[in-house]
Each structure stands twice: as C-alpha cells, then as structure tokens.
A = this chain, B = another copy of it.
C-alpha cells in the first residue's frame, strides 16, 4: 500500500484573522487528497454512490498541528493506508511545505464504508479491497 500525494495551494478562503490556515480547513485539504487518491486508484465517489450504493464516512480523526500554513503556501498532502478492515479503512495523512521538507500537520483518519441509501455499515467494495491489498 503505497503513498499518494496531492498538491494544495492556500487561498484567502482558507485563512483566518491569525494570518494562517483555519484549523478545520486542514481537514478539507486531507479530504481532497483522499478523493484524488481514490480517483488515481480508478474509483469515482459519485459512481460509488449511484452504482454501488456505497458512501464513505469519516468515523474518527486525530490531527496534530505542528506549524501553521500561510496564504500562498504550496502544500503537499499525502495519503497512506495503514489499516484495512472489512467495512473500514484507516489512513495516515501528512501536510508538508517545500515538497515534504517542512512538516505542518499530521492526521490519522478512520473511514467507514456505508450503504448510501441507509447509512448502515457495509463491506468496502471488493474492487477497492483488491486494489488496496495488491
């Protein structure tokens, strides 16, 4: 299970009056990277909902804020799967500056697989399981 990385630029909308990225917005950056990671593996989440009746929901997050990101910063957000269950998946994510040289933020995100129609837990689709265990 390899590491994936995705670039994110910091815009005005992301900052707060402290001049740095607002703490909830790092979760947006991490979610963008997860979406692009799934896309790179061949999975579009809108098709997962409409064709497979599967939606991913975040169950748990742990985020450590090390240094603040600032306006105009060019960030790198990584995704690394660390635990794959039948109906859940845990990912390690990092947000860095200067192509990984400066660590800003680390997160561990646990995702649950749910039936989109009922929001009840369901197995992660076999096609995704396969890709993640190769």
Contact A59-B64, Cβ < 8 Å, known A11-B28, A12-B22, A16-B12: yes
**A53 interfacial by beta-carbon distance below 8 Å:** no
Query: Is B24 a contact partner of A27 (Cβ separation < 8 A)?
Result: yes
**A129 interfacial by beta-carbon distance below 8 Å:** no
- Name the one of B19, B31, B116 contacting A23, with C-beta atoms under 8 angstroms: B31
Query: Is A62 a contact partner of B61 (Cβ separation < 8 A)?
Result: yes
Interface size class of A (residues with CB under 8 A): 35 or more
- Name the one of B17, B28, B45 contacting A19, with C-beta atoms under 8 angstroms: B17
Query: Is A57 a contact partner of B18 (Cβ separation < 8 A)?
Result: yes
CB nearest to A59 among chain B residues = B65
Kindly supply a per-residue 1/0 record for chain A positions 2-22, scoring 1 wherever the CB is within 8 Å of any chain B CB and 0 otherwise. 000000010111011111101
Complex interface residues of chain A between 42 and 62 (CB less than 8 A to chain B): 44-46, 55, 57-62
Q: 9 nearest interchain CB pairs?
A: A24-B27, A15-B17, A23-B58, A24-B24, A13-B28, A17-B19, A62-B62, A46-B72, A61-B63
